[in-house]
Each structure stands twice: as structure tokens, then as C-alpha cells.
Amino acid sequence: MKAGVVSVQGAVPEHLSILNAAFEKLGVSGKAVTVRREKDLESVHCLVIPGGESTTISRLLVRFGLFDRIVRMGREGVPIMGTCAGCILLAEEGDPEVERTDTRLLRLIKMQVNRNAFGRQRESFEARLRVKGLDEPFPAVFIRAPVITRVWGGCEPMAFWDDMAVMAKQDNLIALAFHPELARDPRIHEMLIKMV
């Protein structure tokens, strides 16, 4: 099995190594690969859209011909996980900053995000989160993180920080405001692989 990591900008190597750790822990023969061109998407069974800068990633997805193909894959049921900037891109609705920066969203998940929800006071922090489906709390690292301000339709919140939704799932799609690849804990990446 192949797990792709969109590698146009942002936190790529950590996702590759934790995906490989997740394959090993699950006893699944699989490999994490980088995705830069449309043809790279043909062979992957699931996909990670990493953190980084959402406006930049969005523009590069369009430029490299990945944008429309990812939308199609998401609609066709391929498991896709977006973390931080990737979470913003999966959303159907953004906030005034997304509008102002003309950031094109993939609009796959029925949720609205607030792009830089924590402002300067809380640029980055760590919190142990209770995540639906995990027995033990997950050590979540937040870096200039968004929050999920509204969900509707089939989108379900999976974790909260201080009453704010920071993880959501809709069928084959998972969005996380935090960086699970920085946790040395492969449980969330295992969730993605198990969905294949």
C-alpha cells in the first residue's frame, strides 16, 4: 500500500517517517511517498496534506496540477488527512483572511475554519487531547493553528481544545488543526491507513 504526502511546501519529512512507523506498527506492508505531480497521485491509496502556509500550498496545488485531482479523489472516497494548513484547505468555508488572501479551498469537508485562531499570544503550544476512537489522550502540537468554527451535514467533530473543535471527520476525510506528525505517536496516522 502507498500513502502519499503532498510535498509542495510545508512539513513533509515528519509525515513520511511517522506513516512508515504506522505501517510497521499495524503490520501492513506499505510505504510513504512524496506527491509533487499529478501522476504521483495515481498510485497512492491515501493522502496527507501537511501543515505549512495554506495560501502557498493552495497556489502550488493549482500550479502543479494537483488541485482538481485531489478534489476528485476526496469525492470518490480516497482517505485524505489534512493537518493545520491542510485542515484549512479541506474546509468548505474559510474566514475573512482566507477571502482576503484569495486562498482557493478544496471544499471537501462540511466545516468552516478560522485560519489563525490563536493569534500571537498562543503561536504554538502542546495539549493532551481526548480524541474520539483513541483510548489514551493524544499529545497534540499546535503551531499557528486554525480552529473549526462550524460543522454541518455529515461532518463530525472528533476532538476539542477548550470547547473549540480541533479535529473533524467526514466519511473518508479527516481534518486536524494540530500536527500529529510531531508527536512521535502514530495513532492518528494509523487511523488514516485503517480507512484504506
Interface residues with ligand GLN (CB under 6 A) are 51-54, 84-85, 88, 115-116, 143-144
| 179 catalytically annotated | yes
Instruction: Compute the least distance from the CB of residue 126 to ligand GLN, in Å.
Output: 13
First to last CA, the chain: 9
Instruction: Compute the least distance from the CB of residue 97 to ligand GLN, in Å.
Output: 7
Q: Distance between CA 149 and CA 163 in Å, rounded?
A: 10
Q: Which is nearer to ligand GLN, 53 or 93 (CB)?
A: 53
| 53 catalytically annotated | no
20-59 CB burial, b ≥16 within 10 A, e <16: bbbbeeeeeebebeebeeeebbeebebbbbbbbbbbebbb
CB-facing half-sphere around the CA of 17: CA atoms within 13 A:
8
From the list 14, 87, 155, 181, the catalytic residue is 181
Q: Which is nearer to ligand GLN, 4 or 50 (CB)?
A: 50
Instruction: Compute the least distance from the CB of residue 133 to ligand GLN, in Å.
Output: 23
Please list the residues that pair with 32 across neighbouring strands.
3
| 190 catalytically annotated | no
| Residues noted as catalytic | 84, 179, 181
